[in-house]
Amino acid sequence: MRRHVVRRSCLLAAVLVAVATDPVDTGAVPVPQEGDPGFSIEATVDRDRITVGDPFLYRVTVKSPGDSAIEWPESGTPPAGFDLLSFEHAGPLSGPGGTNVDLLRYELTLYRTGEHSIPPFSLKCVLSDGTELSAESEAIPVSVISVIGDDAADIRDLKSPVDIPAGAPWYYWLIAGLVLLAVAAAVFLYIRRRRNRKDPQGTVPAIKRPPEEIALEELEQLALKEWLVQGRVKAHYSALSEILRRYLSGRYGIAAMEYTTSELLAALNALRVGHDESRVVRVLFEECDMVKFARYTPETHRQSLSLREGREIVERTRPPEVSETAAPSKD
């Protein structure tokens, strides 16, 4: 009986030693992981503390698969409890990996003091195979304070009304009229004298330069700054976009600086700009929007082509040169 007890004790000790020296490999057991559908929403504000009635910006960046259709809310609908001042929607823009990027910009304000919260921004999208995805941003707190400090002690009651005489003597009005007449006559004579005065130096009036000449010169100056070599990609694309928007404003007489990219393309189509020209504008401006608003960094070869494509836009859309033909001589 004692031998059996000793054998069982030895066997148990051997098993414990084997387990201690060769533990079970838990890494070999597969752990399920959630898939990344590529549908996300990020919301930010430019400031989370304002005074009553001050405007602030609420930006929403929506990234979705390229083959999806998003169920958007009614355009220009502000977050619950906030007042909308303006709204812009840029996109869908082409993002990395075949994704789409939409940029929503709300200018909001509030007229109630206290602690408020912008509710989560939620959307749904449907893939080409019928799969439905949903995403939601985080809520953003916003503090609204009064324009009058809590410790203000200089607020006083209204003063009593001041008695105004029933009427002034007639000669007061006569004197005031004569003074105004004299001032008007002096201003008139001064302006007339300046117009009739000849320029003693014979200054030649400045000649207005064509917008394409200004744009090409600004593009050369941008190239000399070498911001891409210094890693200042966002500054380079922002300056490039502004140069081309100023050029298109002067070339076609449109407010290109105020347009989103989609609005600018619609305006160019309305002006019957060629399809190839519109395509070059769309590709470069969408890339500029991605760099400025979506923190996108183009590949090196795309960066090197940006200035060339900017010059191409100017050259393709500049007005045709009018050739001067010699007048026929009269013999």
Instruction: Check residues 111 and 30 and name the one with the higher pLDDT.
Output: 111
Report the pLDDT value the prediction gives residue 11, as an integer from 0 to 100. Answer: 46
Q: What is the 3-class SS of the chain, one letter each residue?
A: CHHHHHHHHHHHHHHHHHHHHCCCCHHHCCCCCCCCCCCEEEEEECCCEEECCCCEEEEEEEEEECCCEEECCCCCCCCCCCEEEEEEEEEEEECHHHEEEEEEEEEEECCCCEEEEECCCEEEEECCCCCEEEEECCCEEEEEECCCCCCCCCCCCCCCCCCCCCCCCHHHHHHHHHHHHHHHHHHHHHHHHHHHCCCCCCCCCCCCCCHHHHHHHHHHHHHHHCCCCCCCHHHHHHHHHHHHHHHHHHHHCCCHHHCCHHHHHHHHHHCCCCHHHHHHHHHHHHHHHHHHHCCCCCCHHHHHHHHHHHHHHHHHHCCCCCCCCCCCCCC
Q: What confidence score (pLDDT) does residue 193 get?
A: 83
Q: What is the pLDDT of residue 2?
A: 44
- Res 122: pLDDT: 87
Average pLDDT (104-119) is 88
Q: Looking at the predicted structure, is the pLDDT value of residue 43 above 70?
A: yes
- Which residues pair with residue 89 across a beta bridge? 104
| CA separation for the pair 182, 133 (Å, rounded) | 77
| Mean per-residue pLDDT, 303-318 | 90
Is the per-residue pLDDT at 19 higher than 80? no
> What pLDDT is attached to residue 24?
38
The rounded percent of the chain whose pLDDT value lies above 70 is 78
Supply the pLDDT for residue 148.
Answer: 73
Chain segment 204-218, per-residue pLDDT in tens: 556 788 999 999 999
61-85 pLDDT per residue, tens: 988 888 888 888 887 788 888 888 8
> In terms of pTM, does the model score above 0.85?
no
Q: Report, as an integer, the average pLDDT of 82-107.
A: 85
Per-residue pLDDT reduced to its tens digit, 171-226:
778 888 899 999 999 998 888 888 776 555 555 556 788 999 999 999 999 999 99
Q: Flag whether pLDDT at 233 surpasses 80.
A: yes
Can you give the pLDDT at residue 120? 92
- CA of 263: how far to CAs of 223, 234, 243, 310, in Å? 28, 22, 18, 19
Residue 94 has pLDDT above 60, yes or no: yes
Q: How far is CA 292 from CA 103, 239, 281, 306, 314, in A?
A: 11, 10, 16, 14, 22
Least confident of 26-35, 50-59, 125-134: 26-35
Place of tokens 């298109």: 248
- Average pLDDT taken over every residue of the chain: 79
Residue 158: pLDDT band (50, 70, 90) is confident
- pLDDT for residue 244: 92
Q: What is the pLDDT of residue 311?
A: 92
Specify the range with the lowest mean pLDDT, choosing from 16-20, 120-124, 147-151, 294-298: 16-20
pLDDT of residue 66: 80
Reported as a pLDDT band with limits 50, 70 and 90, residue 227 is very high
Query: Domains in the chain, ordered, with CATH?
Result: 40-145 (2.60.40.740), 211-317 (no CATH)
